[in-house]
Amino acid sequence: MTETSFMARFGARLVTNGYAILPIGPGTKKPGQFKRGAWVDYPEWNRHAERPTTEVEIATWSAWPDCGIGIVGGAVAAVDIDIVEDAELALQIERLARDKLGDTPALRIGKAPKRMLIYRTAEPFRGIKHHPLEVLCLGQQFLAYATHPDTGAPYAWPEEGLADLDITDLPEITAEAAAAFLDEAYALLPEALRQRGLAAVSTAAEHLRSYSQIGTLPAIRAALAWLPNAELDYDSWMRVGMAMKGALGEAGADVFAGWSAQAAKDVPAITAKAWASFKPDRIGAGTIYHLAMERGWQPDSDLRLDGSLACDGAHPAAGLLSRLIRQDGPMDQHQDNLPVSVPPPPPLSQLDGALAMMIEHILASAIRPQPWLAVGASLTALGTLMGRKVRTDSDLRSNLYVIGLAESGGGKDHARKAIKEMFSQAGFASHLGGERIASGAGLISALTRQPASLFQIDEFGRFMANVVDKHRAPKHLSEIWDLFTELATSAATTFMGAEYADQKERPRQDIIQPCACVHGVTAPGPFWESLSTGSLQDGSLARFLVFRSEDDIPDRNRTPRSLRDVPQPLLDALKAIANAGGSNRGNLAQTGSATIVPAPILVKMDPSALAVFDDLDLEMTGRQRAAVGTEQGAVLARVWENTAKVALIKAVSADPYAPVIREPDALWARALVGHCIGTLLLQSERHLADTRTEKHHKKVLEIIRAAGAKGIRRRDLTRKTQFLDLRVRQEVLQTLIESEQITSVSTQTKGRSADVFRIG
């Protein structure tokens, strides 16, 4: 162990110079984390491509033993000359790079004569690879300061290291210039260093045509040695995985996991999820052998390739098959729990009190009624009114975050308008926060003025696009999202405001037991476009209950009630809830004060409700354990909490004077939250994407899914996917067909044949 790690020596300097960095485990080339006294993989390292490295992260990583430093691609690109056989050729290609891309002062040597040149990008672009040459960029990382795992010596910077170079000192390159350089450099490679095609091994290729889909474990392992998974693109990774499952069946799960783990960006849980989804029927061993032979693999003459042929003794994979059949470990559990379903919502007929009256008024006054969007909006409104006045046994409060999703023109913003009118007539307009939040400081000022505030935000997807991306959003906007995340867990404590140097001009703003409720409505498209899987994994989105409209354009209400015609019983019920438990102690208590310590009444659960929550706890614990490392984990972790909050709001709504959470409240809340998180997980699975390729796959799949059982003709699909060029569209469709997510059939229309694509 070194006395001072690379991170401690160079980390802060690199960040000051403009680089996004990440920790590298000692003796490896992969990002790592030091947990419980040991180094482990860091599957979420890609989040560091989205924002600058923080001082807290540098301090934390600097304390990790022997921590190396990786540089995140995007703002910088690295020309990797992976040639070890010919030192003069490596130097020749380096000179070509300097001539074509710029004479960079940043040259890194790991295992000579291999070398790497670092450049600044005009605009981040996807990496480009012509083995053994590559330009690493977006979605990739490279080592800057670490010990090389082969040589045992630190990576060397013969001229100037990045710790001594500001990012602006590097020559700027574009994707086009990088691609042109690689083409010219690849032409300099002798035939022996290039990837060889099947023409060089035509006899073997001809023989492959007789092989079945099934392969043998030794042959697949031998072929995979020629298919390294360093930074493969998504399509290639999926194709090899499907072929592996076609070749070995479930016996290939461990092989696929080990092969995928070669990549720094590998996430074991996502790998397992992908494996579980593969259902190949036309792709198998032949594909693996073909790809390996393209890269120069020559199968040994005594290697049995066709696993369908009878052989003496046990099948080569029999032992592994037997072990997997007996296995009842995390992998099996994880695969069983990853599929997402959406439970049905609970009936509205089970509601009573203010909640039922509020929903009824919202629907009666709507031109296009949206029942479930009305439910979500009403829960946040009532949660605000009873904020700081009620609590559960576990000290949970009524602060709730809700997002309503519906297409434009479907009446998604009506509930927001109705709640504004209700609050105004009932005398609670002070509980309405601004519909636009200009900064984090503005949010805190609003809660200081009224600690129990409802923030109703229209076009919530556009709002999130402005505040979620810390890499691009101004600090005063990005801190809004951080504050909402923090406030969600601060309702039972004192929120400590920011400290400023000038305490006289900007004193710290503390808020005792804040109850911030959020009701956002948005069209699905802008909402999902604003997010990445990181929004699920970091827990920020997991705090929201997502309500999706059942009908984007519901039937028109021909005789809507006036918004201003709020029934008097509803207004009386709202006032009773604001005075829950008879806790109104004068005007100051009703309007709220950030410096007054409230004394919320305890809303107990009866024994039958406790049994419901005990059962929910057992279920969620099992599901969380199965979902460790996936984006589902953070969402499942909030299910119990959100269920208790909904049950609390429902119980106080039914009886604001002597509220008790009973079994019907617990069961209704459990069903509602189950429906909401099922909606969130299913919609995120269909829409969230971290790479351009993955985004293309999901967009095309959604277009085909929207066509229903009849499917969509190729020409219509082409019109709807004009954002893709022909080659990319063909690759996407081929991958979706081979993964059996869609099917393609040929039909006759007016004497002409046409391809039709359908789901499944």
Would you list the domain boundaries of the chain? Answer: 6-191, 198-337, 348-601, 692-759
> Phi/psi zone of residue 637: left (φ > 0), alpha (ψ -120 to 50 degrees), beta?
alpha
- pLDDT band (50, 70, 90) for residue 193: confident
Residues 42-94: pLDDT tens digits?
A: 877 877 877 788 887 898 899 999 999 999 999 999 999 999 888 999 999 99
Q: What CATH number was assigned to the domain covering residues 348-601? A: 3.40.50
CA angle 477, 483, 484 (to 5 degrees): 100
C-alpha to C-alpha distance for 354 and 589, rounded to whole angstroms: 21
Q: What is the pLDDT of residue 335?
A: 37
SS3 257: helix
Q: What is the pLDDT of residue 505?
A: 73
**Average pLDDT, integer, range 365-378:** 95
Q: What is the pLDDT of residue 234?
A: 67
Residues 332-352: pLDDT tens digits?
A: 333 333 456 688 889 998 999
Where helices occur in 509-582 by DSSP H, the ranges are 524-529, 533-537, 568-578
Joined together, the tokens standing for residue 90 give 């490596």
Cα dist from 759 to 205, 441, 710, 711, 722, whole Å: 34, 48, 10, 7, 20
- pLDDT band (50, 70, 90) for residue 277: confident
Helix/strand/coil percent split, the chain, to 5:
45, 15, 40
Q: What is the pLDDT of residue 592?
A: 66
Nearest to 570 by CA among 306, 355, 365, 715: 355
Q: What is the pLDDT of residue 101?
A: 96
Q: What is the pLDDT of residue 219?
A: 87
CATH 3.30.2250 fits 6-191, yes or no: yes
Residues 687-702: pLDDT tens digits?
A: 887 777 888 888 899 8
202 pLDDT exceeds 90?
A: no
Beta bridge partners of 119: 77
* More confidently predicted of 498 and 336: 498
197 pLDDT exceeds 50?
A: no
User: Quick one: fold of 692-759?
Assistant: Arc Repressor Mutant, subunit A (1.10.10)
C-alpha to C-alpha distance for 126 and 116, rounded to whole angstroms: 17
200 pLDDT exceeds 50?
A: no
Report yes or no: 536 and 542 within 8 Å, Cβ to Cβ. yes
Mean pLDDT estimate for the chain: 84
Highest mean pLDDT of the ranges 328-342, 564-578, 717-731: 564-578
SS3 240: helix
Q: What is the pLDDT of residue 251?
A: 84
Where helices occur in 295-340 by DSSP H, the ranges are 318-326, 330-337
**Owner of token pair 């979620």:** 468
Q: What is the pLDDT of residue 213?
A: 67
**Average pLDDT, integer, range 363-392:** 96
120 pLDDT exceeds 90?
A: yes
Q: Beta strand 390-391 with 601-602: parallel, antiparallel or unpaired?
A: parallel
